[in-house]
A = this chain, B = another copy of it.
Amino acid sequence: MKHALSVTRADDFAQWYQEVISEAEMAEESGVRGCMVIKPWGYGIWERIQHLMDARIKAAGVQNCYFPLFIPLSYFAKEAEHVDGFAKEMAVVTHHRLIQDGKGGLVPDPEAKLEEPLIVRPTSETVIGQAMSRWIQSWRDLPLLTNQWANVVRWEMRTRMFLRTSEFLWQEGHTAHANRDDAMAETLRALEMYRSHAEDDLAMPVIAGEKPENERFPGAVATYSIEAMMQDGKALQAGTSHYLGTGFAEAANIRYQDKEGSQQLCHTTSWGVSTRLIGGVIMTHGDDDGLRVPPRIAPHQIVILPMLREDDGDEALLAYCEELRAALASQWALGEPVRVLLDKRAGKATAKRWGWVKKGVPLILEIGGRDAAGGQVSAVRRDRLYREDGKVNFVGQSREDFLAAAAGELEDIQRTLHAEATARRDAQIHRGVTDLAGLEAFFSADQRYPGWVEVLWSRPTGAALEAVVAKLKALKLTIRNTPMNGEPVSGTCLFTGEPAVERIFVARAY
């Protein structure tokens, strides 16, 4: 069977990923180191993610704000672990003006050097902490629940589109609470929000759990993540939620007067998801013909392609298609009005069809003059693109039957993509490895997609954990997370031989 991409997943997964992004016209290199241009189809998916996530954030009573892009260096310096974690990858603004260099070029003006360098935010705990310290006086001001949609910059050495770019787009929630329990409840609420967004909106199965100590956000007391399995068996950390304890509150002086009148430090949290989710969607749902977008996040859920012939018949054909478009646009699916595009651009219908196939539109309709005359619709589901004989799986139906079934088809595609991904993920989670040699043997075996291994461990900390991490690193492996609400375990730790206390996932990762 011939596919729309030149590289298959089996050929070269990394190359395939780049080709999906390019052929689906989602993004491209910008010419600015490590930064990408997000093109309309990629940005349209991000707008859908924003729309759905923003509704979840607002439903939790969190209010959107906007904080400065620039953070004075001194704000960072107050939280030692935090600054250590980010200092190596910070973009630093040092001047506020350019002047002629006398050779026809421009240089930063030495007279316009900033007294204190400004950091382009890599994350906003420190600057939002300053605002919180102004906004919070008494227990009545708590909880304080804020979020911002913003761009952030982390100067990464190796970048990959959507997964790791020097600048990326994200939301960052920041909250302050009266005590540990309230802050921890919010941390876990955000984690659950991310889990359900991934599963229900992105059709991307994830495991929500706690990261090991070595993988904590710089300055956090506990970090939780959702971890998704890509089709190559690697893990993708797709969202994180942090309980920050009182460290950031101390650094920014976020205090409140409790009911008894004494001053207390707040307990803070932060949580974020980014344009990285789009990379996860590609590597979860893409196939050898390009992307497959879950209907809930598809900018267009249905595209209608009239098979124009540049003759008198086109007018009736377009009228029929427009009527079909309007009828679909007045329907609801997955809780929202159906998003449908009538693609009237000039060009061969087949070429246009494959363009939409590569972009992953859930339902593609091709309507010819005969369909219009006979009140028919010919449609293909992107998740069932080919018949057994290798031909494209267009199904003809009466207009009435199609309209009656369309919303249900979209809902079924959403379900099917989720079920497929979940079955694949579950089949690639392996158990029963009990020692390091076994782990090494498992990941060294000749298998294309080793997947994840769930092992028992004793939750070592400090130097003991570092030793474990070093051993895993030699095997190019990482600890992903300990699933929430795990059943009690009995047995010994694969790494330390001590009594195990919980399960963890070990995997290669993006």
Contacts and interface: CB of A to CB of B under 8 A. Distances in A.
Interface centre among A93, A131, A346 (most CB of B within 10 A): A93
A68 interface: yes
A39 interface: yes
A235 to B, nearest CB: 27
A97 B93 contact: no
A76 to B, nearest CB: 8
A120 B93 contact: yes
Interface string A142-159: 000010001101010000
A67 B68 CA distance: 19
Task: Please tell me how many copies of the chain the complex holds.
Answer: 2
Given A32-B72, A69-B153, 12 more contacts: A28-B134, A38-B65, A39-B65, A46-B66, A77-B106, A87-B97, A90-B96, A92-B94, A94-B94, A98-B119, A108-B117, A150-B151
A46 B73 CA distance: 29
A399 interface: no
A83 interface: yes
Contacts of A253: none
Contacts of A72: 31-32
Q: How large is the interface on A (under 10, 10 to 19, 20 to 34, 35 or more residues)?
A: 35 or more
Q: Which of A63, A69, A90, A92 has the most CB of B within 10 A?
A: A92
Given A64-B44, A91-B118, A130 B31 contact: yes
A21 to B, nearest CB: 14
A92 B117 contact: no
Given A92-B94, A94-B94, A94-B95, A64 B47 contact: yes
A40 B28 contact: no
B120 A68 contact: no
Nearest to A346: B140
Contacts of A131: 28, 30, 37
A392 interface: no
Contacts of A134: 28
A32 B114 CA distance: 12
